[in-house]
Chains A and B, each alone.
Chain A
Amino acid sequence: DTGVSQDPRHKITKRGQNVTFRCDPISEHNRLYWYRQTLGQGPEFLTYFQNEAQLEKSRLLSDRFSAERPKGSFSTLEIQRTEQGDSAMYLCASSYGPSPEETQYFGPGTRLLVL
């Protein structure tokens, strides 16, 4: 069984550009999560999906951030008009089960650098 995959692994962009990251969860997992991790900090929750429904998005950092999971499989996280403060590692995780307390398995992350 393959793990969670994320693409790209690294992204360098100029301030003001839009970026999109993709996450493919473990195949049978119904829940998918996005986190941001800055240097020296633990992962910070952004949003999550159960199948195609986005159940929590109040933690998205601003209205420049949006996420989709249109068919309940892979998900995308988009950041519009990037700022230097968006530079961070963006992590995706997935889990299977009836509740969000199930174990989350993480992907390798996408490291974003905004110049």
Chain B
Amino acid sequence: AQKVTQAQTEISVVEKEDVTLDCVYETRDTTYYLFWYKQPPSGELVFLIRRNSFDEQNEISGRYSWNFQKSTSSFNFTITASQVVDSAVYFCALSDRTGNTPLVFGKGTRLSVIA
């Protein structure tokens, strides 16, 4: 079955601190894709990254980095030197070829960055 768990419901950090958002997934498929989306207070989901199950290289994009570990079924997201504009709800999501749901989301982690 497809499942995404984001155990951290809410996180608060002070500006310029680093913060890591955890994501653990479950799938029986060997080919799958993992995503992170950002949902600011305006409500629109903004795509951040897509990784496939065959590419375990970590990725860095500016202050954002992602750590994909198949051994622990985790796809964690780190924001370095956080800023107030990073305050949002962040969702991890999974897409595979099983089941009838193209994309399964976790419940999200609300990040508050305090100035």
Residues of A within 8 A of B (CB): 33, 40-45, 48, 56, 58-59, 89, 91, 93, 100-101, 103-109, 111
Contacts and interface: CB of A to CB of B under 8 A. Distances in A.
B39 to A, nearest CB: 9
B7 interface: no
A67 B72 CA distance: 38
Interface bin, chain B: 20 to 34
Interface of B: 4, 32-33, 35, 37, 42-47, 50, 91, 93, 95-97, 100-108
B96 A45 contact: no
A111 B95 contact: no
Contact of A100 (B46, B47, B102): B102
Contacts, number: 60
Nearest to A109: B43
Given A33-B102, A41-B107, A58-B100, A106 B35 contact: no
Given A100-B95, A101-B95, A103-B50, A45 B102 contact: yes
26 contacts: A33-B102, A33-B103, A40-B107, A42-B4, A42-B91, A42-B93, A42-B105, A43-B103, A43-B105, A44-B105, A45-B102, A45-B103, A56-B100, A56-B101, A56-B102, A58-B100, A59-B100, A100-B95, A100-B103, A101-B33, A103-B35, A104-B47, A106-B44, A106-B46, A108-B44, A109-B44
A101 B98 CA distance: 11
Nearest to A110: B43
Contacts of A91: 45
Contact of A89 (B43, B104, B107): B43
A12 B78 CA distance: 38
B18 to A, nearest CB: 24
Contacts of B97: 101
B101 A105 contact: no
A42 B106 contact: yes
